[in-house]
Structures are given as structure tokens and as C-alpha cells.
Amino acid sequence: MHTEREKMLRGELYDADDPDLVAARNEARALTEEYNRTAATETNRRRELLEELLGTVGEECRIEPPFRCDYGDNIHVGDACYANVDCVVLDVCPVTIGDDCLLGPGVHIYTATHPLDPAQRADGLEYGEPVTVGDNVWIGGQAVLNPGVSVGDDSVVGSGAVVTSDVPEGVVVQGNPATVTTELSSEG
């Protein structure tokens, strides 16, 4: 028998009201509230809080407050990443962000989702699908990455785009749903 957390991480239906999951979310909220109250000059304290909150945090990673997440420990961020203000990550499953990534203001990354069956939704069950962002990716402001998507290396997600399916390497996607509008040259 798997715990609700194990089911959650496996992408299976689970009960989000499980006391252990509620406690973990409350702990993450307390850490993000503390993080969001830090001053811009408190770079060491911000780093300490990110290391306590997130699963892994690369070198020279900066996340501008306010920042919100569900659990934190399912978020893995590479080196030299920057997330602007108001980013939200619903991390019921792993969220992996590669090196040298830029997230614009208000970017939302969702792994959490709900069953299509109304009876299962009424029972309070939910599940998740992991999200992966490759290296050297720029995600424009207020873009949304939906559960289960991946964004390939060197790609750009335009501002306001809603990514509902995988983004290949080296492209620009825009719109709702996001579609490829430009193929980027590897020669810069």
C-alpha cells in the first residue's frame, strides 16, 4: 500500500487532504512567506531559504519574490536561472528546470491536475504529471506550462502562451494553445 505522497509523486490519483500532505504544504507556505518578506539585500538569507524549500537549487539561481509553490521539494532548478516576480509552481510531481533559464513575471508551472470524471473530482481526488524545462530556455511573462509538458533546450515560450503539449528544441512557441511560430538557428 502506497502513502498518499507516494501516489502523488507517481502520478496516481491521491487525496490532497491527507494530513501529511497538508502539513508539507503548510511548511512550504511558511517558507515561501518568509522568503517573500526578505529584502532585496538579503541575498544570503534568500539562498538559505531556497535551499531549505526546493529539492535542488543550482549556483547563481535567483527567484524574485513573491514566489509561490505547493511543496517546494519537488522543484529542481539548474545553474544560473532567474525567475521574475509572481511565479507560481504547483509541484505535486517533479518540476525540473535546466541551466541558464529565464522565467518572466507571472509564469505559472502546473503539475497538478484533476480527473475528468466528475465523481472522482467530487471525491476530492487529484493527480499530477511532471514538467521539464531544458537548458537555455526563456519563458515569457504570464506564460503557463500545463501538466506533463516538456520544453526543449534553447526554446522560447512567448508571453501569455499556454503550453499544452511538448515544445521541441530550438523553437519559439506562442498563443493559446502554444504553437511553433519560429525555428531558431543554432548559429545565433
Domains of the chain: 4-183 (2.160.10.10)
pLDDT reported for residue 1: 86
* Cell of residue 64, nine digits: 524574485
Catalytic residue annotation:
114
Q: What is the pTM of this model?
A: 0.96
Which tens digits make up the pLDDT trace of 50-104?
A: 999 999 999 999 999 999 999 999 999 999 999 999 999 999 999 999 999 999 9
The answer to whether the CB of 112 falls within 8 A of the CB of 130 is no
Residue 187 scores a pLDDT above 60: no
Distance, CA of 22 to CA of 150 (rounded, Å):
28
